[in-house]
Structure 1
């Protein structure tokens, strides 16, 4: 939206002139500015990145356009079953007042005021905690440049926001978002500990076996055998505080209930039967191969480091995760399935 010295158009022009790419994203706990450029252009680009961090002005006209665009986008998305399902399942898990469960409405955008945005910007950007990650062919004076343009920033502590989760009491939900809809967006989810919990690493192996890759049991059964869906996946949410274990898919309206039954069947099989050596080896090889792929190049390595550091972990976590993949036994996976893969613990949602 521009700074005191540059309009939004001039900012974009500046980065494009140097053949660079800058992107901004905001997540549940973090906001990021990402810069890709040639090392020799850092001296011209870092001052402008700093300007974005500390000198944005949020003009009223830009806020008006933003509100209008976001309400239009929201109106379109609310007609999509997968979008609605993604919003609702988080509400059931965490409660609509929790940061993980809260979602935006048209009224929220209408109520947004310039002073609110500036106060948030001052607290979390100008005076918040700053972490810088750099990777690639780095210049020898990189640390000097970073200190020159960012070394004087306050880098304050993030205030603790202890919002208790208020999960829904009801477990099963069927939502008709479109009477004429032919597809059901299916979400099953249960609360799960974060990455600091001792079960997390081995549960990732169980998740891969259950629904974490193309050769998983959910995919082989519900996609390949039954043909109910083009794809079905399970995953552990990457939240810093609380987390959750989710199953996500889109299926035909008439087979949505049958799809859920098959998910329950795969949970039951994992609770009652030991995985055989061949299947466990397949999962291990897939997970180790994925890690090797994630380490192919400096940007991918940095992405993994970011995840470790921002979750309050250290390099030991990486080696522990490798060890867990290599050493977890079929008996341990069965025990984890008996502990975590019980249908009665999962919220069950179908949005048509």
Structure 2
């Protein structure tokens, strides 16, 4: 390499992006496994995804509490011993709970998988949810919630979802001290048995994979009683019940110096034919640091440190969210400028220079998002859980490259109408 010669600059639109395919097989118990062998570092991610999110709970907080306490004790090991075991091998075991799914994820050195997979299997079949661990979790969660409820942005995030989806919808439900007080150990154990030990799940493994991985996985997970009940990922028994009132103001702190603004509406999901093109429209509007909302409300007016519009992608329902915090005395002006920019996008075509900039930004973002085995597998996990395939990747990148200014204006006219949004300010 001659460092006296500057490297050539390429247009991102000229890149022929490709996503590395993943392998698929099933264990002896019919557990679906998706694997991706890539990368030079000998690290691996083992990600169990269960359909055990809050969509499946009959009582608020049970799904999230069960997931949090998964590794806090088994019949053989205490919470301390479990954490010590994974720490000894330099591994990280995390758990996470979402609306439809919940996960138990291991990151470790490839060579230590034989010592770590049995511990994962133990957690998934023999967790005991000790009462003392539940009591500690409950106390800590209530204290954390109490602190968060003093923050306007936290309250705004809770309420806007309720307004858009309805509190009885899994996407609109939120926690309370009373809900934490009401959970019982037996409820967690029952939920665990139904949705983890005998639950419906998938396994995603990526990184530098060892030889004989299929045999190793089948040895530790192939006899577990997963996926016994029939399950259709798209059939969730809930409907959206949005709040009939569209505009809300909440006083959370009389002395607050700023307000948390949230503005949201339903939006097409990834199964929509025009989702990628509508995403380009949103990126221009407020989806990146150089967006119109940023240029106006942050750079020109100085009302906020940052403002963003983004898509809440769920398996069933999706929303477009505009989010910012602004000085208390300029919240109304901030909202007025948001609708001013929306009107401009509806009435005036985007010029080709701005459109080309955003196209390059989005293609470059995709390129960064598939840099590394874990990132690539995150794409595949999204596709599998939402019933998509690699054709979606190639169609979406092609749509981004070829969307026209006229199409951008059409989607702005369709999705940036003020009357279609729920609007909330929390002081």
Whether TM exceeds 0.5 here: the answer is: yes
Correspondence for 1:154 among 220, 225, 231: 225
Instruction: State the alpha-carbon separation in 2 of the partners of residues 53 and 259 from structure 1.
Output: 49
* Residue 190 (str. 1) matches residue 265 (str. 2): yes
Displacement of 1:153: 2.5
TM-score by length of 2: 0.81
**SS of equivalent to 2:191:** helix
CA deviation vs aligned residue, 1:99-137 (integer Å, no higher than 9, x gap)? 000111111111101111111111111111221111111
Instruction: State the alpha-carbon separation in 2 of the partners of residues 59 and 98 from structure 1.
Output: 30
**SS of equivalent to 1:35:** strand
**SS of equivalent to 1:23:** strand
CA deviation vs aligned residue, 1:123-174 (integer Å, no higher than 9, x gap)? 1111112211111111011111111111123332447431111101111001
* Residue 303 (str. 1) matches residue 374 (str. 2): no
CA deviation vs aligned residue, 1:165-212 (integer Å, no higher than 9, x gap)? 110111100111000000100000001232111221211111111111
Structure 1 alignment gaps of length 5 or more: none
Aligned to 2:290: 215
* Residue 68 (str. 1) matches residue 139 (str. 2): yes
Q: Is the contact made by 1:124 and 1:158 (CA closer than 8 Å) also made in structure 2?
A: no
88-97 vs 125-134, which moves further: 125-134
Aligned to 1:115: 186
Instruction: State the alpha-carbon separation in 2 of the partners of residues 221 and 158 from structure 1.
Output: 48
Instruction: State the alpha-carbon separation in 1 of the partners of residues 162 and 308 from structure 2.
Output: 20
* Residue 42 (str. 1) matches residue 42 (str. 2): no
Instruction: State the alpha-carbon separation in 2 of the partners of residues 311 and 154 from structure 1.
Output: 24
Displacement of 1:94: 0.6
Instruction: State the alpha-carbon separation in 2 of the partners of residues 199 and 179 from structure 1.
Output: 44
Q: Is the contact made by 1:128 and 1:158 (CA closer than 8 Å) also made in structure 2?
A: no
**SS of equivalent to 2:255:** coil
Instruction: State the alpha-carbon separation in 2 of the partners of residues 55 and 303 from structure 1.
Output: 28
Instruction: State the alpha-carbon separation in 2 of the partners of residues 168 and 251 from structure 1.
Output: 25
**SS of equivalent to 2:383:** helix
**SS of equivalent to 2:207:** coil
Correspondence for 1:101 among 166, 172, 185: 172
Displacement of 1:329: 0.6
* Residue 58 (str. 1) matches residue 133 (str. 2): no
Aligned to 1:125: 196
Correspondence for 1:199 among 251, 270, 274: 274
Structure 2 alignment gaps of length 5 or more: 1-71
TM-score by length of 1: 0.98
Aligned to 2:350: 275
Instruction: State the alpha-carbon separation in 2 of the partners of residues 204 and 192 from structure 1.
Output: 10
Instruction: Let me know the Cα RMSD of the aligned residues.
Output: 1.0
Q: Summarize the alignment of residues 250-329 of structure 1 with structure 2, pairs less than 5 Å apart.
A: 250-329=325-404
Aligned to 1:14: 85
**SS of equivalent to 1:140:** coil
**SS of equivalent to 1:198:** coil
Instruction: State the alpha-carbon separation in 1 of the partners of residues 416 and 136 from structure 2.
Output: 46
Q: Is the contact made by 1:273 and 1:334 (CA closer than 8 Å) also made in structure 2?
A: yes
**SS of equivalent to 1:228:** coil
Q: Is the contact made by 1:236 and 1:245 (CA closer than 8 Å) also made in structure 2?
A: yes
Q: Summarize the alignment of residues 75-86 of structure 1 with structure 2, pairs less than 5 Å apart.
A: 75-86=146-157
Aligned to 1:238: 313
**SS of equivalent to 2:271:** coil
Instruction: State the alpha-carbon separation in 2 of the partners of residues 234 and 161 from structure 1.
Output: 27
Q: Is the helix fraction higher in 1 or 2?
A: 1
Aligned to 1:332: 407
